[in-house]
Structure 1
Amino acid sequence: MKYAIVVSIFKTEFGPIVFKGNLADNIKLASNLGYDAVEFAVKNPESVDIEALKKILEQYNIPALTFGTGQVFFDQGLSFSDKDKNKRENAVKSVKRIIDLAANFNASIIIGLIRGKVHSIDGNPENAIKKAEEKVSICLKECMDYSEKYGTRFFIEPINRYETNIFNTLSSVSSFFNRFKDIFDLNRIGILADTFHMNIEEPVIEKSIQNHIKMIKHVHFADSNRWAPGYGHTDFERIFKVLKDNNYSGYISFEILPLPDPVAAARDALSYIKNLERKII
């Protein structure tokens, strides 16, 4: 199994990112700790010095795996499901800029909170959510069509009900793919399974993984309290085993709180899971 950790390219108040601040130092630290790749959180892709970033990654022999889009929603308030068409269009424009940046590193795109949330359900939540999903599908298709020249892959992340009311479970994302299968290139889209959100939404995490394993292309590990694995109550042995038994070949990445401090969080996350991997093998 290969492991990655999330690094923010710029300072952000977004919580579950271990490394924020000095980019070169954080990439060096991730490499020295033994990580195989890094995920980047970014909101202003045009401000990124691409050549400088490439040199840093090459220097420490660590690739960029994905680029997240959550800060576009978190810091700019833009989403694919907003009632305001202009805001939806601006969300797509922002994601396209991230796609252009990610293409320089052959990296994938994570679709998390950028999908937004439904604020007014008008007494008919099912209908409101369906309409929101239609908006998301249009925006996502535009992004996928735009990125076809790069071959960019997209990972849709189910997120818990306290943060959004669209796509809370693996099955809801799978149903979304099936509903719009005629407009999506299913070879370039998949599910990002995050154990923190699954701990809230899935009745049995490993069973949900088993049921949707063919569509799971990326995995985030975080414990029940969003600390590093081993600091909470999540049974990672059972989760790791179902991934291994089903020949999951993607990365496991840590999107966790920087607690008790960033270095300890990154070190302990990798150490805990690698020890677990040795035990299971």
Structure 2
Amino acid sequence: MRLSLCNEVIRELPFDRQCALVAGLGYQGLEIAPFTFGPDGWRLPAARRAEIRRMCSDAGLQVSGLHWLLAAPAGLSITAADKTVWQKSVDVLRASVDLCAELGGSYLVHGSPAQRRVAGKDDVARAEEAWLLAGEQAALARVAYCIEPLSRPECNFVNTLAEAAEVVGRLGNPALRTMVDTLAATRMEPEPVADAVRRWMPTGLIAHIQFNDSNRRGPGQGNDRFAPIVQALREAGYGGWIAMEPFVYEPDGPACAARMIGYVAGLLEYAA
């Protein structure tokens, strides 16, 4: 298993300094939120893409994947009845798939709860059509496109792994997968997260893991126990990325990044 940091945690730093800090702490990758490069981060010019990949490589890192796909520009929604808004949202998703592949990433995480709220069946149909089109692009780019179960009340559509699996199965594209966000899973799954990992990992649908405490801080900064989750991942033979995605950075982003990897790396060593 390889450890990645979601780069918005340290977004106040220039990207080359992000890379230096993350590599120095012992991470192997950065999970990129395109909005950290501005409202048009999803369509970075080719030269900037090459520069980002070079800075990661020079630091001994990889771009593991992308997340927060629809956080910018403002006003996006895959459930919008407005065809212009919906199409722009799909265009951003498809372009983000290509961005991920060009940066060397292997997965995208579609969370973006505010941009997928539903009020009826038509909204669900529009969301699934958007995911179908994003999945087609992901298949061409040879990356995994993960529909992320998120917790209520922030998100009212696809809240559990079972619901995500149902959507993925209905759309029928192997590039469409799901993933485990431990905060959401702690709140929404009918069983402990470690048991959910044991149940769902053998299905082949889980392409990624994000660690965060249910208090919205990082792993090791709350009461959630991550050792059983790490053990379950080890037993399941998971060899992919674990990304650290806190939402509250205390005392600050760099310190939070250091605390998280110290805690999780220790768990990985113990479980080996």
Q: TM-score, normalised by structure 1?
A: 0.86
Task: Determine whether 1:221 maps to 2:220.
Answer: no
User: Which residue of structure 1 aligns with residue 242 of structure 2?
Assistant: 252
Matches within 5 A, 1:144-163: 144-163=135-154
Matches within 5 A, 1:122-161: 128=120, 130-161=121-152
Give the letter aligned to residue 199 of structure 2.
N
Displacement after TM superposition at 1:208 (Å): 1.8
User: Which residue of structure 2 aligns with residue 113 of structure 1?
Assistant: 112
Give the letter aligned to residue 87 of structure 2.
E
Does the residue aligned with 1:76 lie in a helix, a strand or coil?
coil
**4+ residue stretches of structure 1 with deviation over 4 A?**
none
Aligned residues: 259
CA contact (8 A) 1:79 1:113 kept: no
User: Which residue of structure 1 aligns with residue 65 of structure 2?
Assistant: 66
Does the residue aligned with 2:215 lie in a helix, a strand or coil?
coil
For the residues of structure 2 that align with 1:74 and 1:169, how far apart are their CA atoms?
A: 25
CA contact (8 A) 2:138 2:145 kept: no
Displacement after TM superposition at 1:18 (Å): 4.2
List alignment gaps of at least 5 residues for structure 2: none
User: Which residue of structure 2 aligns with residue 4 of structure 1?
Assistant: 4
Identity of aligned residues (%): 22
Give the letter aligned to residue 195 of structure 1.
T
CA contact (8 A) 1:69 1:98 kept: no
Give the letter aligned to residue 139 of structure 1.
A
For the residues of structure 2 that align with 1:260 and 1:26, how far apart are their CA atoms?
A: 17
User: Per-residue CA shift, 1:233-262, capped at 9, x if unaligned?
Assistant: 111111111111111121111011321111
User: Which residue of structure 2 aligns with residue 193 of structure 1?
Assistant: 180
Matches within 5 A, 1:1-281: 1-8=1-8, 17-43=9-35, 44=40, 45-47=42-44, 49-70=48-69, 72-73=70-71, 75-107=73-105, 108-113=107-112, 116-118=116-118, 120=119, 128=120, 130-181=121-172, 184=173, 186=174, 188-204=175-191, 205-213=193-201, 214-256=204-246, 257-281=248-272
CA contact (8 A) 1:106 1:152 kept: no
Displacement after TM superposition at 1:264 (Å): 1.4
Displacement after TM superposition at 1:178 (Å): 2.0
For the residues of structure 2 that align with 1:61 and 1:280, how far apart are their CA atoms?
A: 25
List alignment gaps of at least 5 residues for structure 1: 9-16, 121-127
Displacement after TM superposition at 1:223 (Å): 1.1
